[in-house]
Every structure is written in structure tokens, then in C-alpha cells.
Amino acid sequence: MIPLLLPVVPAGLTWLTAVYTGRSYLRVRQDLRVAAYWHSTVLLAAALTVVVPAVYLGIDRTLDMPNAARWIRNSLILLAAYRQDGLYTAMPGSSPHAWRRHRRLLVYLVLTLALMALTLSLAHLRVSTPSFDMRSVSPPLVAYRLLYLAFFALVLVRMICSCAHYYRASRDATVQLAMVLDIVGTGWAVLYLVATLGEVLLPPGAPVAARLNTAIEMSILVAVVFVLAGSTMPSWGPRAGVPMLMRQVRMFLAYWRLRSL
């Protein structure tokens, strides 16, 4: 039962977050930060929905193209990452050259998606499978994964740097905790990238290969939980008493440092 629920839970949580934050988007859709966040949330929810095996196989049957859902899912994830980068680009205090770098990132994204489609077609996969379990290492699939990983890793590094910057710049305890949660979630996303690369590079007979799918799904779940909690905390954190909690934690840490005096 748990393995069956692992792909469903992240999608459900992300769709709930999209609905919850959709009210803010409808009220102030002209705000670039709100628009970028909501777009990234919806794109991520759609990508996680494609991960569900029944949806994955249904898309392939509808398009009559084995593993077309793979490219759709990965493309949605990269689009969501790009829009999330747009959120940090639009934040106050960002670099004057941030928008220029963000536009260059769009060009890189378009090239990545095109090359991913090409390498996936060269793999000549005959069977639809949510995981790339192959009898031997396939160079086109390795290239496909490397293209995907390179863009995603770049955006994750930019996100971590942005979160660390706003953590240091803000004196709001709620915002600081939100940034910490986002960094932790991004760290789990990095583990997801490492596991997905291993899914292609390791032969199916390797002892760890059978556990990679579960590791991928678990890392997706944990990353989604932390990122969604961190990204929405500024809206619900003050009502939940997060500022008071953070003050208590800081007071405890201060007393703890004085214990040896």
C-alpha cells in the first residue's frame, strides 16, 4: 500500500497548495512574485501527477508514443524550476543583472527540452515504463538524464544561494525559518537528482538498483513537503505562532550557550 501511495501523496499536497495559494494569485496576479510562485506550483503539481503510474501509462496510450509521458513530466519539472527561479529574481534586493540571467536561463531551458526530446527518441524505447529499467546502459538515456540533471542542478544551486541570501538579509524569524525549510527541501531535491542518474548508470542487477525507485519517490515526497512548507510559511506562519516559537528557540539556545559559565 505504501509504495502505491508514494507517487500520489506529493501530487495531492502540491495541488492542495496550488488551490490554497490560488486565492492570492487571483487577487494580485500582476505581482510577479505571486505569479511566478503560483505558476511553479501548478506546473510541479502537474508533473507529479504524471508520475502516478496509471496517469503515465494513460498518456503513453493516448499519444501512442512509449515514454512520451517521461519527457512531459521532466519538462514540467524544469518549467516549474524556471518559474521558481523567476520568483527569486523578482524578490526585492535581487541583483540588477538578475533578469538578464533569468532570460538567458529561458534560452538554456528551450535548448535542454529540445535535446531531451531528441535523445529520448534515439533511445528507441518500445515499452512504456515509469522507470528506465534497461538490460544495459543506454547512451541516449544517459545523455537524456545528464541534460535534465544539468539544468535542474543549476536552478537548485541558484535557489540555495537565493535562500541563503534572504535568510541573512531578513530579520523576520518566519522568513528565516521559511528559507531554512526551502534549503532543506532543495537538498532533498539534489538527492533525487543523484538517484535518478544512478537509475540509468547502474545495471538492473546491481544490489542497489532495485531500491532506487523507492529512494527517488521518498526524496520527492520529502523535498515537496519541505519546499511547500517553506514557501507558504510567510502566509500561515504568523497565525500559527511561528514568530513566538522562534523567539523561544533563540532564548533556549542563548541559555544553552551560557550553561558552562
Closest CA to 98 of 166, 47, 1, 185: 166
Burial of 115 (0-12, 13-18, 19+ CB in 10 A): middle
pLDDT tens, position by position, 57-112: 888 888 888 788 889 999 999 999 999 999 888 887 666 788 888 899 999 999 99
Q: Which residues contact 254 (CB under 8 A, 6 or more apart)?
A: none
The answer to whether the beta carbons of residues 85 and 155 sit under 8 Å apart is yes
The answer to whether the beta carbons of residues 134 and 127 sit under 8 Å apart is no
- Where helices occur in the chain by DSSP H, the ranges are 2-5, 8-27, 32-51, 53-63, 68-89, 98-122, 139-169, 173-201, 209-236, 242-257
pLDDT at 2 over 60: no
pLDDT at 248: 79
DSSP of 121-176: HHT---S--SS---SS--HHHHHHHHHHHHHHHHHHHHHHHHHHHHHHH---HHHH
Give the span between the Cα atoms of 228 and 182, in whole angstroms.
Answer: 8
pLDDT at 152 over 70: yes
Residue type, 61: R
Burial of 198 (0-12, 13-18, 19+ CB in 10 A): middle
The SS3 of residue 1 is: coil
Burial of 154 (0-12, 13-18, 19+ CB in 10 A): middle
Q: How many domains does the chain have?
A: 1
Which three three-digit cell numbers place residue 9? Answer: 501523496
pLDDT at 175: 85
pLDDT at 195: 84
Percent of the chain residues topping a pLDDT of 70: 87
Q: 247 pLDDT band (50/70/90 cuts)?
A: confident
Give the span between the Cα atoms of 12 and 217, in whole angstroms.
Answer: 14
**Structural domain span for residue 54:** 2-257
pLDDT tens, position by position, 4-36: 667 788 899 999 999 988 888 888 778 888 899
The answer to whether the beta carbons of residues 59 and 68 sit under 8 Å apart is yes
